[in-house]
Chain A
Amino acid sequence: MPQRLTFLFFIAFFVTAASAASAAEIGRIKSTRGDAHIQRDGQRVSAALDTAVRATDTVVTGVDGAVGITFIDNSRVSSGPNSVLVLNRYSFDQGTHAGTFDATLTRGTLAVVSGRMAKQSPEAMTVRTPTMVLGVRGTEFLVYAE
């Protein structure tokens, strides 16, 4: 019984630690249009201007929707109508500019301008579609996913 309690305690600890890590603000919504929302921990959050974006959010736009986000490393992305952008992982150190950006455009259109972390390390930023993996070396580009 005590062993089981210890085990449960560890599970609780890791779950708490994991949710604390994903709750940190990694960017803000700087532009929004039409039907757009964020899917967060099973909840639907309005993609209003100035909304904080978190590391495991999914950004969803409807038929007339568009959303632009600026991240804390100065990377910028914007998705057009009928798009689903899944943020898989994000971390950034303001001091060293080291970080990780990993996102998947499941569907729709996306514009990307890389920021400080991609300048610091060419391996830092990865954008995916269901069939492609894009490694970003300091640049601007567009992505379409069917």
Chain B
Amino acid sequence: MIRRAFVAAFVALLAACATPHGPVSRDRVILLSSSDGTTGAVDVQQGSHTAVLDGAYASASAGSDGALQVHRADPAATLEQFAAAIASLPPAPAMFTVYFVFGQDELIEESRKAIAQMLQDVARRPVPEITVIGHADQVGAERINDALSQRRAERVKEMLVQRGVPAERITIVGRGAREPLVRSADGVAEARNRRAEINIR
């Protein structure tokens, strides 16, 4: 039994050696245009061959001689082949920034309507995760800013929970003045740094 398996394996090995280039792989990659209309790029490397894909439906796969070939894939056939994967792609994460009154965890007037937008976004997702990162400007001691940024994040969480978002879906963190949106000298009150960044995915 074992001997027969060994012979079969040996025969398979001989067959593989007899093929000039070995079997050609049918692996392939196809670039899409993003929902924002831009197309990025993908660097493809296959053995010693390289190619860059940089237009919608640009595709790379191995040709019959084993060398990498770039061509334009048929959109309809591509969308059909990848239909199940594309349909299962999770919704794009959303990002919001809200701003606070100097030295407080109170939202400025213009930022209050963002809370309603966040709630709408959360409601559209079957299993939402919300991350709130609080920040402070560069006025005041590090210890005070750390606490303030934490309170700001907590405040956003509170507002969402009060309006029905389950608390366990929200993660908060305070980063003090360590990650300013706008660089300012130490001690300068920069309104754009008194913020919380909300990522909903």
Contacts and interface: CB of A to CB of B under 8 A. Distances in A.
B40 A136 contact: yes
Interface in A43-97: 49-50, 66-70, 74, 76-81, 83, 94-95
B82 to A, nearest CB: 5
Contact of B27 (A67, A76, A114, A146): A146
A28 B85 contact: no
B43 interface: yes
B133 interface: yes
A141 B90 contact: no
B127 A135 contact: no
A78 B29 contact: no
A6 B152 CA distance: 48
Contacts of B129: 28, 70
A139 B128 CA distance: 23
Contacts of A144: 26-29, 81-82
Give the size category of B's interface with A. 35 or more
B85 A146 contact: no
Interface string A25-37: 0001011110000
A145 B33 CA distance: 21
Contacts of B133: 94
A142 B85 contact: yes
Interface of B: 25-35, 39-47, 53, 60, 62, 78, 81-93, 125-127, 129, 131, 133, 173, 175, 178-179, 199, 201
A142 B78 contact: yes
Contacts of B47: 131
A142 B92 CA distance: 16
Contact of A132 (B31, B45, B87): B45
A130 B24 CA distance: 12
A139 B27 contact: no
A69 B131 CA distance: 17
B112 to A, nearest CB: 25
Contacts of A77: 89
B44 A81 contact: no
Q: Which 3 A-B pairs have the closest CB atoms?
A: A139-B40, A30-B90, A135-B43
A114 B93 CA distance: 11
A40 interface: no
Interface in A104-135: 109-111, 113-115, 118, 129-135
Contacts of B28: 143-144
Contacts of A115: 93
Given A131-B46, A134-B44, 8 more contacts: A33-B84, A70-B90, A70-B201, A74-B93, A111-B85, A139-B31, A142-B82, A143-B27
A70 B124 CA distance: 15
Contacts of B34: 113, 139-140
Contacts of A111: 82, 85-86, 88-89
A30 B124 CA distance: 12
B89 A78 contact: yes
A35 B50 CA distance: 36
A134 B90 contact: no
B189 to A, nearest CB: 22
Given A109-B84, A144-B27, A144-B81, A132 B89 contact: no
